[in-house]
Structure 1
Amino acid sequence: MIDIIPPLHLSDESLNKLFSYRLSRIREVMRLKQVSVLILTSPVSLRYAVNFDEYQLFQSHIPTCYLFLSLEGPIQLHGATGRKFPNVTHYQGSDFLTPFDGGLDLSTNTQHLISNLQAFSQQLNEPLESVGLERMSPQVSQRLTDKAIQVYDAEPIIEQAKLIKCELEIDCLKHSIQVAQYGMQLMYQALRPGITENQLWSIMHQVNAAHGGDWIEGNMLASGPRTNPWLQEASHRIIEKGDMVAFDTDMIGPLGYIADISRSWICGGGKGNQAQRDAYRHAYDEVHHNMQLIKPGISFRELSEQAFIRKAEYRDNRYVCSFHGAGLSDEYPKIYYQEDWARSGYDGLVQENMVLCVESYSGIKGGSVGVKLEEMVRVTSKGITPLTDFPFEDELLKDSYP
């Protein structure tokens, strides 16, 4: 059995403030976009809106439950077992808009949902003219359009709402990070020749579950030659002495907040070989250079343009982005490298009280060594405050053999 670090104790008053803040953020954006009602299905959106926390991974691929959220007035949750969710005014059964729940022909259930939405809209202070939908059957969009109701994508509304964190959210993020870094400490202690990647990674899962966390987005741990290229998930490979071991926590922890941290270690410790040290130094320098660029008012494009100039040998094997948002999960924005900007980049402004992850993957294309490093920071009026503080490997930052 593992020890448990102290939980984050939030009073009922603090929890109510947290949930009210998140709801107010959603409604602020709804008002800006002139959307009357949202119908939400994503477990992350449901968690943000009403702290829904039932069977979240199941909900992510079979969205049995959904939420009617009005701009002003009632909030109605469909399909939930519990009756404890903040700011929910009404509970009803689900009309089952998935083939698993409702069969292969969803036309009748879709009509039931539209009828329930119309009944719900009668409680509003104005006619139902616009609805934001999140990942629902296209039949729902078609039925609403047939009734001359404007249909919007709800997902950008929720992402914009989640962008700015209140102080209580920062406290929740810090606690999830504390739990993840405790798991990392136990992994560090357990790392020895003969352990498999899966065995090592399971420690993080156990720590998260023991602290009431939700899930881990991927099994992002690799060792030795499997560290290059990146995004190879954990396997039964036996870790050997001298292997580089790299991982990315992607942990959705207590109260649903993410801890997104990456580190790379040498099994058995020490300075490693020259290729390992070179890759580690490159990743370390990239993360720390890019952290210092962040400030309120800088644009996403400027961050991309001013980002660390990667050495030529590491460019082809770059990570998918250099910065991204974080909160209940990975969030908007995703800020791309200049090489990818023309195809995928989009602009915006960094704002105070956003939380950003700063990432680097450094591995030569076709090589056998890769290093993954990542830090989380809070944007402040003067720049950033780091949220993560797990130590780096000083030995790997040295330039010469012992």
Structure 2
Amino acid sequence: MPITAGLPSSVSYQARAEWREAGLIEPNCEAIRDYRLGRLQAQIDTAGVGALLMFDPMNIRYATDSTNMILWNHHNPFRAVLLCADGHLVLWDYRNTEFLTEDNPRIHERRTGADLFYFDRGDSVGNTAAQFAREVESLLTQHGEGSRVLAVDKIMVAGLRALESRQLTVIEGEPLTEFARSIKCEDEVKAMRCAMHSTEQAVGRMREAVEPGMSEMDIWAVLHYESIKRGGEWIETRLLSSGPRTHPWFRECSHRIVQPNEIIAFDTDLIGPYGMCCDISRTWWIGDENPHGELIDATRIAHDHLTHNMALLRPGRHFSDLTAAFHKLPDNCQRLKYVWVCAMNGR
């Protein structure tokens, strides 16, 4: 079977077959990579900085479409990317793993030595940071188009101090990356649709599997398995609970045994194919008896909330207009509501 240009190896044939059956069009990953680099470059130009230095694994992935032990990297920042004003891009990666990106033409240099944290460097972290800062300054001199202003998204204290000791002006880089990522291209939308479809398939398999007598962990494991086999990557939270554990929300998945005639509630909160975050919230009634009146009332409120707000959506409408017109939840739902995204969440 031919491979789509730029298709990540983690996307499974099962997922691709399901997408075809659903009439979905796979994204052109090369087009996505070019678009994302262009978005970041535009932010660099607008901000007037010499370069953008990124440690956040999500931003590194956005800039290079490359990953390396991404969950471990989230709490051990050993990777970094410097995107310069003239387009020169340098990736610092884990030692001896340069081969992971050797076929990526958008990366012009591969280095090591951005691991500016104690677990890796111990008491010599200051020396490592000083060397890293010298490299960044040199690259900025060569490729920063005369600017010594450096935008940085997230950095360890030793790294920040080392950069500032080189008389570089360090500014917040996160606004640049967030604005770059805020507008999706056509192929990113295609990737999102494919990823969401795979997540819906995984949720469907979990619904088929659930029955009284299973633990919350047993049920949640089905979601993880069905997502991973389709090219999903990981789950950000453990938000699946049952019965009396569903309220208030945010109790994590446990070994509690699901009883007949009670609810299960969950958020997928997973990273699906193409690295897209797929967040679906569902509440299921498990059992043959009818749910009691309080649950029916809560479901009606959620239904009214969603249908009202969905009807407001249309191309070109400003968020400020949406906010003013959103459905208002009853007073007894106000204290524990989500403070963001709740307008479309049904909570």
Equivalent residues of 1:95, 1:112 under 8 A apart: no
1:307 aligns with 2:293: no
Give the 5 Å matches for 1:291-330.
291-296=310-315, 298-322=317-341
Distance in 1 separating the partners of 2:252 and 2:322: 29
Superposition map of 1:261-280 within 5 A:
261-268=280-287, 271-280=290-299
Following superposition of structure 1 onto structure 2, how do residues 3-402 of structure 1 map, counting pairs within 5 Å?
4-6=14-16, 14-80=28-94, 81=97, 82=100, 83-124=102-143, 126-268=145-287, 271-296=290-315, 298-322=317-341, 358-361=344-347
Amino-acid identity (%): 28
Where 2:143 maps in the other structure, the secondary structure is coil
Change in Cα spacing, 1:40 to 1:286, as seen in structure 2 (3 Å) is same
Q: Per-residue CA shift, 1:379-400, capped at 9, x if unaligned?
A: xxxxxxxxxxxxxxxxxxxxxx
Please list the CA deviations of residues 222-265 of structure 1 after superposition, one character each: whole Å capped at 9, or x if unmatched. 11111100111111011111111111111101110111111111
Q: What SS class does the counterpart of residue 16 from structure 2 fall into?
A: coil
Q: 1:141 to 1:124 in 2, by over 3 A?
A: same
* TM-score (structure 2 length as normaliser): 0.87
Q: Which residue of 1 aligns with 2:7?
A: none
Q: Which runs of 5+ in 2 are unaligned?
A: 1-11
Residues 12, 196 of structure 1: alpha-carbon distance in 2 compared, 3 angstrom cutoff: closer
Q: 1:275 to 1:212 in 2, by over 3 A?
A: same
Contact 1:133 1:153 in 2 (8 A): yes
State the one-letter code of the partner of 1:135.
K
Distance 1:75 1:275, change over 3 A: same
Query: Match of 1:94, SS?
Result: coil
SS at match of 2:303: helix
Q: Kindly state the Cα deviation for residue 41 of structure 1 after the two structures are TM-superposed.
A: 1.2
RMSD: 2.5
Q: Secondary structure at the match of 1:360?
A: coil
Distance 1:184 1:211 in 2: 12
Conserved? CA contact 2:151–2:170, under 8 Å = yes
Deviation at 1:28, TM superposition (A): 1.0
Structure 1 residues 149 and 269: alpha-carbon distance in aligned structure 2, compared to 1, 3 A threshold = farther
Q: Which has the higher helix share?
A: 2
Judge conservation of contact 1:219–1:233 (CA < 8 Å) in 2: yes
Structure with greater proportional strand content: 1
3-state SS of the aligned residue for 2:254? coil
Residues 67 and 77 of structure 1 are in contact (CA less than 8 Å); yes or no, is this contact kept in structure 2?
yes
Change over 3 Å in CA distance of 1:48–1:125 after alignment to 2: closer
Q: Give the Cα separation in 2 of the matches to 1:201 and 1:285.
A: 28
SS at match of 2:309: helix
Q: What residue identity is the alignment partner of 1:359? A: N
Mark the CA change 1:284 to 1:85 in structure 2 (over 3 Å): closer, same or farther.
farther
Structure 1 distance, partners of 2:210, 2:219, is: 7
Deviation at 1:125, TM superposition (A): 5.8
Q: Could you tell me whether the CA contact under 8 Å between 2:140 and 2:148 is conserved in 1?
A: no
1:388 is aligned to none
Give 1:299 deviation, angstroms: 4.5
In 1, are the aligned partners of 2:49 and 2:147 still within 8 Å (CA)? Answer: no
1:186: how far off?
Answer: 0.8
Alignment partners' CA distance in 2, 1:125 and 1:315? 50
Contact 2:149 2:171 (8 Å CA) reproduced: yes
Structure 1 counterpart of 2:307, which letter? H
The structural deviation recorded for 1:47 is: 1.1
Q: How many angstroms apart in 1 are the aligned matches of 2:179 and 2:48?
A: 14
For this pair of structures, how many residues does the alignment match? 327
- Is the contact made by 2:113 and 2:128 (CA closer than 8 Å) also made in structure 1? no
2 CA distance for matches of 1:13 and 1:241? 43
Q: SS state of the match for residue 345, structure 2?
A: strand
When normalised by structure 1's length, the TM-score is: 0.76
Q: Is the 8 A contact 2:73 2:79 kept in 1?
A: yes
Deviation, structure 1 residue 301: 4.2
DSSP-derived class of the 1:143 partner? helix
Cross-structure match for 1:396: none
1:242-291 CA distance string (max 9 Å, x none): 11111111110111011111111101266411111111111122122222
- SS state of the match for residue 218, structure 1? coil
CA offsets 1:337-394 (integer angstroms, 9 cap, x no match): 8xxxxxxxxxxxxxxxxxxxx2132xxxxxxxxxxxxxxxxxxxxxxxxxxxxxxxxx
The secondary structure found in structure 2 opposite 1:91 is strand
Specify whether residues 5 and 124 from structure 1 end up closer, same or farther in structure 2 by C-alpha distance, changes over 3 A only: closer
